[in-house]
């Protein structure tokens, strides 16, 4: 199993914006979070999963009232960007769990657990 603790990502509603004549693009806040998450990940060696995986997103206490599934998109996209998983489609990610973990994860953080199935 691979575990990585990161700063909580921005709300899924603020990850992308529409740009006229371009389409959907990442917002500055999302780009900044991805860069910060990559730095946070550098303290742990990367494990690359080629087999199907189960991903658990453990959510620390948040200042905003957010839906549990609000963390999934950014967490899965990060795992692909960091090359922990090859893809976040159903062929590779067989299960995603998003759970409140206020007693296990520091406030303002998420811990992503990835395990082979």
pLDDT at position 46: 77
pLDDT at position 42: 81
DSSP 97: E
Question: Which alpha helices (H) appear in the chain, and where do they start and end?
Answer: 28-41, 72-81
pLDDT in tens, 75-112: 999 999 999 999 999 999 999 999 999 999 999 999 99
Domains along the chain with CATH numbers: 2-116 (3.30.1330.70)
- In angstroms, the Cα distances linking 52 to 3, 48, 84, 93 are 16, 11, 12, 6
pLDDT at position 92: 95
E-strand stretches of the chain: 2-7, 16-19, 23-26, 53-59, 93-100, 109-116
DSSP 12: G
Who's near 103: CB < 8 A, 6+ residues apart? none
Choose among 52, 63, 75: nearest CA to 3: 75
* pTM for this predicted structure: 0.89
pLDDT in tens, 8-48: 999 888 999 999 999 999 999 999 999 999 999 887 777 89
């Amino acid at each position: 199993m691979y575990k990585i603790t990161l700063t909580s990502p921005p709300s899924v509603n603020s990850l992308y914006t529409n740009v006229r004549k371009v389409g959907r693009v990442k917002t500055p806040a999302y780009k900044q979070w991805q860069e910060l998450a990559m730095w946070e990940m550098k303290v742990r060696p990367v494990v690359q999963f080629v087999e199907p995986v189960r991903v658990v997103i453990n959510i620390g206490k948040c200042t905003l009232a957010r839906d549990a599934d609000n963390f999934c998109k950014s967490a899965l996209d990060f795992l692909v960007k960091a090359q922990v998983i090859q893809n976040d489609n159903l062929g590779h990610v067989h299960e995603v769990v998003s759970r409140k973990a206020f007693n296990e994860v520091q406030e303002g953080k998420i811990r992503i657990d990835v395990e082979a199935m």
